Amino acid sequence: MKNLKTLTLTAALALGASGPLYAEKLHFIMCGGEIRDADQSVVDAFEAKHDGVSVNIEAIPWGTCQDKSLTLAAAGDPPSVAYMGSRTLRQLANNNLIVPAEISQDTISAYQPGILNTVTVKGTRWGYPRAFSTKALFINCDLAEAAGAECKAPKTWDDMYALAKAINDNTDAAGVGIAGKDFDNTMHQFLNYLYSNGGVVIDPQTGENKLDSSNTRETLAFYKKLVSVAQEGPTAWERSQLKDLYNDGKIGMYIDGPWGRGQHKEGMNEITVPVPAGPNGDNGTILITDSIAVFKGSGHEEFAHELAGMLTTGQSQYALDTEWGLTPIFDYEKLGFDAPYYKGDAYWQVFVNGIGAGGPEPLVEDFKSLQSVFTNMIQGVILDDDTVDNLVTIAGEELDEAL
């Protein structure tokens, strides 16, 4: 990318005597390969507000976009802003490639609990949260009832295990789907249980490693218990494949996001309920966000902060949440919305109610190392390679190395 900030005689003449002296072009990398209407409308409004300022949105598939942003920034040619997974923020911040977010106090006070922890490293916020998801437990009621059980929300892990065992023992289906493949959602699935047991991975304010704890040991022991009523060979499965097993009536329940209902078989007799509470927690969930980062050295960070703020507040954020079917990132009533889409909707309330007890996707510099920490621990207990105590101790040591 070149000529992000240009001043030429030709440009000055083209703008006319009353036009701006400078022409600014912001480079906006959009991970996901598409430009959503909610994003484009804000960019249009931003350009209309600033005569002579334009935004070049480059939509890039997830597989390459985050690496491209990092590569450009490291080479001294950073994008102005980028929409990416919040998991990348620590790496970018540690390498001095982005600047802290400038989120207004009104916006801060309207976020759902824990959202800002997903972009915070040692007390500093490095991104503007833009997209948000939580998780819940989907249960096939036909299988539950065929097993002689009542199809209702299990309140505790013991309740969940009892229902899964009934389905496993009295139908042709496994009781529950467990993700154990070498993939990021294996960690995500585990964290839904860990946060429902009051666990912490990394303290977002101090950066301290909290993984080696009794909460983690209890969670891993429960995972080991679930293996006995899960589908065969959990280490070969990731979450999207569990959805297929669920649709085929081969597992009685599994954890997924709010998009799950729309991906299940039409007319399926199911309920969507909170992730059951562990012995030392409440109904929690992993809190995952994508966010907008403002890069250092583009030459127009002030404009970049303004654009990021316009994208992530009020009506613009509400438009994205409703267009994309996301868990609401704000308590929209605090922003003056009288009847937000999730209010009074039992389905959406399941995904909202667990936010307070939830926890963030941990921020480390090397996400693949973090993924390995959890995969090794989870696969270790699934394959019965070591004791729960040793596996958690090792995971804590490996996380120290990844921080």
pLDDT tens digit string along 108-119?
999 999 999 999
Asked if residue 8 has pLDDT above 50, the reply is no
Mean pLDDT on 234-251: 95
**What share of the chain in percent tops pLDDT 90?**
88
Q: Please give the pLDDT value at position 1.
A: 37
Asked if residue 273 has pLDDT above 90, the reply is yes
Q: Which CATH superfamily is domain 136-284+364-402 in?
A: Periplasmic binding protein-like II (3.40.190.10)
Asked if residue 12 has pLDDT above 70, the reply is no
Q: CATH 3.40.190.10: which residues of the chain?
A: 5-133+287-357, 136-284+364-402
Asked if residue 309 has pLDDT above 70, the reply is yes
pLDDT digits (tens, 9 = 90+) for 204-228: 989 999 999 999 999 999 999 999 9
pTM: 0.89
Q: Which CATH superfamily is domain 5-133+287-357 in?
A: Periplasmic binding protein-like II (3.40.190.10)
Q: Please give the pLDDT value at position 402.
A: 86
Mean pLDDT on 295-319: 95
Question: Which of 300, 337, 301 has its CA nearest to residue 316?
Answer: 337
